[in-house]
Amino acid sequence: MDMGRMDQLPVALRARGVFYGWVVVGIAMLATFASGPGQSYLFSVFIDPIIADTGMTRTGISSLYAAGTFVSAAMVFYISRLADRRGPRFTLTIIALGFGLACFGMAFASGWLLTALALASLRGLGQGALPINGTLLIAQWFVRRRGRAMAIAGLGGALSTATLPPVARLLIDEVGWRSSYLVFGLAIWLVLVPVAVFLVRNRPEDVGLHPDGANGPPADERPLTAGAPVERRVLSTRMFWLLAIPMSMPGLVDTALIFHQASIFAERGLGPTVAAAAFTPMALAAAASGFTGGFLVDRFGPRPLYIGALLVLLIPPVLVQFISTTPMAFVYGLTIGVGSGMSMMVSRIT
């Protein structure tokens, strides 16, 4: 591939009236979609096959997964600072290479230690690093239209939630859970790595453009980088923790319910196929609420949307007690999707 010609692509598209920022949005959407192997909705399909193959207990796997989630939280800080120093293009390339390797590691993991390392890598790079890198990339390319750009990119997560669990279920039935991870890792290397190398541009200013495709820098543009002293000041403020605690609640609720979805449905007499299929209405609802929420945030601000998300997420923990049929399982998935879609949209822009 001619790198010189690829470097001129943003300018060539501008000459045709196309802002390259929307290509960047597509890349962020792809990154969010590809994060599936590190997300709870996909790993939940693998839990029972892993238990059957390795003899690990559900409690043991849950503990390892929780530890990996803490690693994911720590990775967000590290990746943000790395992207500040080296740019999203370099960072996304390294993340994609490492994430594919983590999938291979999970395929060959044996014993508690190697499984823990593989899970920590999957969570840290998939659940944490990939989505945040896409968010940082969009933040460089959009200011006034940031909400709608985030909403469009968020469709990648919804599409991933809708399609990857059934695909994983089919792969597991055909080739086993270990080979399924090999397939996912290879797909990441073949698709995401070339996109990161050849198509990502760190900032519009690097290619003679401005955020939102405007003719000049926006009046309300603010620096998007932050050094360690600023981070320390933010972490020491009371307001940060007053916001951090409620902002973390939707993720805690979603992760707990989604992680154990297959086992919960099994206790209710519903098989693994239904458990995987329930992610489809969940994803559709998340896509609709997140996409709509992006425009609502631009108009009304994040507070009313987030309050609505918290109210909706009060429903699934109650509804899960009464699931007994496939339609009820789909309604349950819809409620999680609506609440998580709205809350994720707010978290991306605050």
> Going by CATH, does the domain composed of 11-213 fall within 3.60.9.10?
no
Mean pLDDT of the chain: 83
Average of pLDDT values for 318-339? 89
Predicted confidence (pLDDT) per residue in 170-189, tens digit: 999 999 999 999 999 999 99
Predicted confidence (pLDDT) per residue in 53-72, tens digit: 988 888 888 888 888 877 77
Q: What is the DSSP string of 159-228?
A: HHHHHHHHHHHHHHHHH-HHHHHHHHHHHIIIIIHHHHHHT--S-GGGGT--GGG-SS--TT-------H
DSSP 8-state class, residue 38: G
Domain ranges across the chain: 11-213, 231-350
Is the pLDDT assigned to residue 105 strictly greater than 50?
yes
| The pLDDT of residue 7 | 61
Is the pLDDT assigned to residue 297 strictly greater than 80?
no
pTM higher than the cut 0.85: no
Percent of the chain past pLDDT 90, that is, above it, reads 27
Is the pLDDT assigned to residue 233 strictly greater than 60?
no
| The pLDDT of residue 175 | 96
- Residue type, position 24, single letter: V
CB 179 within 8 A of CB 3: no
Distance CA 49, CA 45 (A): 8
| The pLDDT of residue 224 | 46
| The pLDDT of residue 223 | 42
